[in-house]
Homo-oligomer: A and B are copies of this chain.
Amino acid sequence: MRVLGVDPGTLVVGYGCLEVADAHAARRGGARIANLVDLGAGGMRVVEAGVLRLGGKRLDLAERLRSLADQMGALLDRLVPQELALEQAFLGKSVHAALRIGEARGVVLAEAGRRGIRVHHFAPARVKRAVAGHGTADKDAVAEMARRLLALDRQPSPRDVSDALAVAITRVEALRWERATGGCIASERDV
């Protein structure tokens, strides 16, 4: 199964697609969710990760968002993920920043909705906990742990990519937990 993590920004959108081992393999590993490094070994692999560039500030907002819709649609059609994972709203940002990020999120969500892809939202602290072991880990620690969990030679870069991979890892962890516990929903649903 494939899970696409997305980190929507106003100029660049990071993404990271993970393939998860089948349910049987997941069940075997399911009891060891505390030791996430183990998952990297056999549980999941990076299918593709990168950034979508929205054309820079020289473009109108509407043109950038149109570009995002086109690129995200093409990405979803190419990678065919069953699930999409996003970070929930963060506190501590300005209203203006939230509006801008919301615009990019909305476009991503609409493209996912168009294809019937399930969307899961995770609080930032939850992502940090899942990847780096505690909810106050800094971005560097998250990037380094994402590298180890996914058995990559180098840290995913830029930060938009490691953030997208981190939220995808969080969904994979939740999925293993659901499978191990018989389907209790461990992700949060946005309203």
Contacts and interface: CB of A to CB of B under 8 A. Distances in A.
Nearest to A121: B61
Contacts of A107: 106-107, 110
A77 to B, nearest CB: 15
Given A60-B119, A119-B60, A65 B96 contact: no
22 contacts: A60-B113, A60-B189, A61-B109, A61-B190, A61-B191, A62-B109, A62-B110, A62-B117, A62-B119, A65-B113, A66-B109, A66-B113, A68-B110, A91-B95, A94-B95, A96-B98, A98-B99, A98-B102, A102-B105, A106-B106, A107-B107, A107-B110
Interface string A91-124: 1011110111111111101101110010100000
A63 interface: yes
Contacts of A104: 106
Interface residues of A, number: 38
Q: Which 7 A-B pairs have the closest CB atoms?
A: A102-B102, A66-B113, A103-B106, A106-B106, A62-B113, A98-B98, A65-B110
Contacts of A69: 110, 113-114
